[in-house]
Structure 1
Amino acid sequence: MSACIRRVPCTVVTGFLGAGKTTLIRNVLARANGRRIAIIVNEFGDVGIDGELLRSCGIEGCLEDDVLELANGCICCTVADDFVPALDRILARARPVDHILIETSGLALPKPLVQAFNWPNVKNRVTVDGVVAVVDGPALAAGRVAADEAALAAQRAADESLDHDDPIEEVFEDQVACADLVILSKSDLLDEAGLARARRAVERRLSPAVKIVHGANGDVDPGVLLGLGLAVEEDIENRWSHHDGADEHEHDDFETFIVDLPPVAAPDELARRVARAAEAQNVLRLKGFAHVAGKPMRLVVQAVGPRVTHHYDRAWKADEKRATRLVVIGLKGLDRAAVESLLAA
């Protein structure tokens, strides 16, 4: 009997030059708790600086050969030439890695990179655990999408491999639209009004299912970023992009509603119902909490299409109503009554 091959989870960290991607990754390394993490760095606009910062991080367990730099151009434009060979080098090592972090160039479009994870020579070995977009809080609060637009223009001019010449606002929208989580960096530099402006600038481009996490100095719990288990490559065609055609999946075409259910008998039973509803009615995302009869713990339920995960996260609080409440997200025209019926069946 052949052994089951474990696919190594990869997290794609996207965002403009200076948004705080490297600081975030350093923080993840510092709090890795024994996990061996390899890093692919593509921020060539700083010619070696990001890779050097990570190599010389001084963090126990962070080895120099765990950091690979791709300096030949934007990663989404050099996937076959640079990215796949880098994966090969990491996966061929005698000491296996537990997770791979991919820091993209500021001008990279995440969707083409994630699509490469469906290539035959890639998909059986790695999976996209999640896409994290790091956005610059003070820049957004000031009405810009990047802190240093001149640096981005210089990066664009220096990259001969770049095959897309999108306005930076469109690159920003593509990065956010592909994200499973958004880190609003440098949030400590903003007052309440500034935070509200920055959040609004992101939210109007964001799927309703995606959360925004405030970050200061990259200090975000790695448990929030890693282990999402979303297999994004299997859902990537549902992620909106300017390159798909602007009319195809406008964010205004999403609709969201909440389904309240009675206590469930068992987690697997609920997961089967969720999967059936998602498949039959084209539900894009579902997430929420469930009360499992006889259990003191709250059950977290998440689904991307028909792929469902669930786990107990904590005990119900004494003053908290034990309930099953699920948020359902789909395109306009989703048959709410049919979804509710399948979830309640």
Structure 2
Amino acid sequence: MKEARNLAQTKIPVTVLSGYLGAGKTTILNHVLNNRNGLKVAVIVNDLSEVNIDADLIRDGGGLSRTEEKLVEMSNGCICCTLREDLLREVERLAKEGRFDYILIESTGISEPVPVAQTFSYVDEEMGIDLTRFCRLDTMVTVVDAYRFWHDFASGETLLERKQAAGEDDTREVVDLLIDQIEFCDVLVLNKCDKVEPDKLDELERLLRKLQPRARFIRSVQGRIDPAEILNTGLFDFEEASRSAGWIRELEAPAHTPETEEYGIGSFVYERVRPFHPERLMRWINEWPESVVRAKGVMWLATRNDIAQSFSQAGPSIQMGPAGYWVAALPKAEQAAILREEADLAGSWHPVYGDRITQVVFIGIGLDRDRIEAGLDDCLLTEEEMAGDWSRLSDPFPQAPGEWAEPASASRPQ
């Protein structure tokens, strides 16, 4: 027990800086290193460019010395995927050396924060490395470029189109990456605030707070922040961070009370226990309301009655795909076992449709809730359609091989 306590007390804290390319992560890193109050910091830099410009900048102005700090350069890959093995080994080695007070990691601009956090939260069985023995993930930081945010958000471009992808099979859209980074963090740094008009900056911050209500917000100019805001904060908790997105908070609220804040920023939950007609829903999606900045949730399609559909929208990016079987589509014995364990699900169980439901959170600026709800209601099955054969309805949504191998399963539940 004594050994375990000593190990816990000596775990080295880690801060991870995430944020899209050009947001100012390196500038913040340099500022923190120059104002670290004597902390011995090991720095891991992950950069996708052929020349490690980030590392050069740190060397030139970061106040690094061979006796006090350690700089580890990781290039030609992304910290959240191809370099995860290298990251594990480097962090383990640095922590075991016992010479450092802190590890500071700057992720590449296309890195998603969740896989990085998982690296510090779970044992890697394949490599036999357990960073939880040596490290404590202290703070996940996301840096947002206040000046270019709306440009990147609305661009509709992919990382491939911008020549920023991790590989030829990296088909992610820029806006989806921005949202991933915003929705999973403990601290959000709104950088380059001097380049934005005060009213527009206030509007942006209020919207980001709607997307990420849990994080601490910091405004900065040229990356100047108090290091104490991102070092040794004790803020990180994986479960909390995983459920910190605004749309999740909205869904889990005891009552879905819509609210409209200053600058017209608002949110509401669209919830119906009736399936969508796929063709009408596709038409509605193709005329997506510009006021909706973010929408996320689960949909019930009549033609795919056994499988819940995950729906996600961020700016011009709209995605929908299978999220798994409805509990009501499972064999009766499995249903009963799940309902015994999940009281909330049992309490909301529909006598005919079980757990089938549409629940989508809408977040935006100047939302016309009545119009959006009326438009979606028009996409629901009519009474006549409810009584018919749902599998015969027109379904223009893409069909991935093997996902819905038996269209007959879409018939109306008995």
TM-score interval w.r.t. the shorter chain? 0.5 to 0.7
CA contact (8 A) 1:132 1:181 kept: yes
Mapped to 2, the partners of 1:10 and 1:217 lie a distance apart of: 23
1:97 match: 100
Any stretches of 5+ residues in structure 1 without a counterpart? 242-248, 258-331, 334-345
1:193 match: 199
The reply to whether residue 171 of structure 1 matches residue 177 of structure 2 is yes
**Structure 1 19/13 Cα, relative in aligned 2: closer, same or farther at 3 Å?**
same
Task: Kindly provide the CA deviation profile for residues 52-74 of structure 1, in whole angstroms up to 9, marking residues without a partner as x.
Answer: 11122262657696111111311
Q: How does 1:25-64 map to 2 (within 5 A)?
A: 25-45=29-49, 47-57=51-61, 59=63
1:46 Cα deviation from its structure 2 partner: 6.4
Mapped to 1, the partners of 2:154 and 2:137 lie a distance apart of: 26
Mapped to 1, the partners of 2:249 and 2:170 lie a distance apart of: 23
Mapped to 1, the partners of 2:254 and 2:144 lie a distance apart of: 25
1:112 match: 115
The reply to whether residue 139 of structure 1 matches residue 129 of structure 2 is no
**1:199 is paired with a residue of what secondary structure?**
helix
CA contact (8 A) 1:19 1:146 kept: no
1:285 match: none
Percent sequence identity is 29
1:156 match: 164
Any stretches of 5+ residues in structure 2 without a counterpart? 124-129, 256-343, 346-414
Mapped to 1, the partners of 2:232 and 2:183 lie a distance apart of: 20
> TM-score if structure 2 supplies the norm length?
0.53
**Structure 1 13/251 Cα, relative in aligned 2: closer, same or farther at 3 Å?**
same
Q: Compare CA radii of gyration and give the structure with the larger one.
A: 2
CA contact (8 A) 1:14 1:106 kept: yes
**Structure 1 152/11 Cα, relative in aligned 2: closer, same or farther at 3 Å?**
farther
> TM-score if structure 1 supplies the norm length?
0.63
AA of the residue aligned to 2:63: I
Q: Which has the higher contact order (CA 8 A, sep 6+)?
A: 1
Task: Kindly provide the CA deviation profile for residues 162-192 of structure 1, in whole angstroms up to 9, marking residues without a partner as x.
Answer: 8753211111111111111111101112221
128-137 or 222-231: bigger deviation: 222-231
Mapped to 2, the partners of 1:145 and 1:62 lie a distance apart of: 40
CA contact (8 A) 1:136 1:185 kept: yes
Correspondence for 1:238 among 240, 243, 250: 243
**Structure 1 139/80 Cα, relative in aligned 2: closer, same or farther at 3 Å?**
closer
**Structure 1 200/165 Cα, relative in aligned 2: closer, same or farther at 3 Å?**
farther
2:189 match: 183
2:6 match: 4
**Structure 1 126/164 Cα, relative in aligned 2: closer, same or farther at 3 Å?**
farther
Task: Kindly provide the CA deviation profile for residues 299-338 of structure 1, in whole angstroms up to 9, marking residues without a partner as x.
Answer: xxxxxxxxxxxxxxxxxxxxxxxxxxxxxxxxx99xxxxx
Mapped to 2, the partners of 1:118 and 1:215 lie a distance apart of: 30
**1:156 is paired with a residue of what secondary structure?**
coil
1:211 Cα deviation from its structure 2 partner: 2.5
Mapped to 2, the partners of 1:195 and 1:231 lie a distance apart of: 27
**1:89 is paired with a residue of what secondary structure?**
helix
Correspondence for 2:250 among 243, 249, 252: 252
**Structure 1 212/152 Cα, relative in aligned 2: closer, same or farther at 3 Å?**
farther
1:307 match: none
Aligned-CA RMSD value = 3.2
Question: How many residues are aligned here?
Answer: 246
**Structure 1 209/234 Cα, relative in aligned 2: closer, same or farther at 3 Å?**
closer
Mapped to 2, the partners of 1:154 and 1:144 lie a distance apart of: 11
CA contact (8 A) 1:17 1:151 kept: no
**2:172 is paired with a residue of what secondary structure?**
coil
The reply to whether residue 15 of structure 1 matches residue 19 of structure 2 is yes
Mapped to 1, the partners of 2:76 and 2:41 lie a distance apart of: 23
CA contact (8 A) 1:38 1:97 kept: yes
